[in-house]
Amino acid sequence: MSEKIKSYPGFRIKTADLREGKVPFEAWRPRVRYAWSAGIAMSRFLEELKNGRIIATYCNKCGRIMVPPRVFCEQCFKPVDGWKYVKDTGTINTYSVSFIAGDASRIKEPIIVAVIDIDGASPGMGILHKIGEINWKEVKFGMKVKAVWKPPEERVGSITDIKYFKPIREETL
């Protein structure tokens, strides 16, 4: 705002005014759906998830082993040099705990979300997933975690074939 300007345009209404028809409006709902081919790299990745394995690609020029895998190295801008299985364990790089759903409404059980740096890939190669079998207040940065897979017959070739990652307890090491 400039002190030279005395009034600013804009007529405030309430969202409820729209719902209750207190202001003229028009409503519309889109009727489309989408289906995406997963692509060259992701198709292989998803097929391997169905087999209960996480696969990476590597680039011999920069030396990175990359998860999620890609068919070209975005740094070197060349094709990757091959595929490599990595572990289904990793380290929590960062995490957050959601108490709300997509529409901002409250949910009963909080969802723990994390970036998990995958063992066997280059440092800092993380994927987004959920953390389970732990109270959210006990989650720590740097915590070691392991994938909890759906039973083979329930896997469909999706990132959700991993139900979540659970902490690796001392005694199970």
Partner 1 sequence: MFGKKRVAIVGAGLTLFRRNLKETGKELAYEASKMALDAAGMELSDIQSVVMGTAPDAFDGVHMKGEYLADGAGARNKPYVRVYVGGGTGVFTPLAGWWHVASGQFDTCLVVCEEKMSSCFPHPAYAFTTIFDNILARPLGTTLIWIFALEMHRYMHKHNIKKEQIARVAVKNKRNALDHPCAQLAANITVEDVLNSEIMCWPVQRLDISPTSDGAAALVLASEDVAKKVTDNPVWIDGVGWCIDSTIWTNRDLYYPDYVEYAARMAYKMAGIKNPPKEIDLAEPYDPFDYKELHHMEGLLLCRKGEAPKLTEEGVTARDGDLPICPSGGLLGVGNPIAAAGAMKVCEVFWQLRGEAGKRQVPGDPRTGVAQAWGDLMQYGSVIVLRR
Phi, psi (5° rounding) for residue 102? -60, -30
108 Cα distance to chain centroid: 21
Binding partner at 59 among Zn ion, partner 1, none, C-beta below 5 to 8 Å by kind: Zn ion
Residue with tokens 């953390």: 131
Bridge partners, residue 129, by sequence: 114
- Of 163, 109, 85, 103, the C-alpha closest to 131 is 163
Q: Rule CB under 8 A: say whether 163 interacts with partner 1.
A: no
Return d(Cα 89, Cα 117) in angstroms, integer.
Answer: 8
Is 159 near partner 1 (CB under 8 A)?
yes
Q: Are 149 and 89 in contact (CB under 8 A)?
A: no
Determine, following the binding rule CB under 8 A, whether residue 160 of this chain makes contact with partner 1: yes
Q: Which stretch binds partner 1 (CB under 8 A): 54-62, 103-111, 144-152, 165-173?
A: 103-111
- Report the site for partner 1 in 4-63 (rule: CB under 8 A): 4-5, 8-15, 17-18, 23, 28, 30, 34, 36, 38-39, 42, 46
151 near 50, Cβ under 8 Å? no
The nearest distance, CB 103 to partner 1, in angstroms, is 4
61 in contact with Zn ion (CB under 5 A): yes
Q: Choose, by CB under 8 A, the member of 59, 65, 129, 165 that binds partner 1.
A: 129
Cα 131 to Cα 147: distance, rounded to the nearest angstrom: 9
Query: Which residues would be at the binding site for partner 1 (CB under 8 A)?
Result: 1-5, 8-15, 17-18, 23, 28, 30, 34, 36, 38-39, 42, 46, 66, 68, 70, 74, 93-104, 110-111, 113-115, 124-130, 136, 141, 158-160
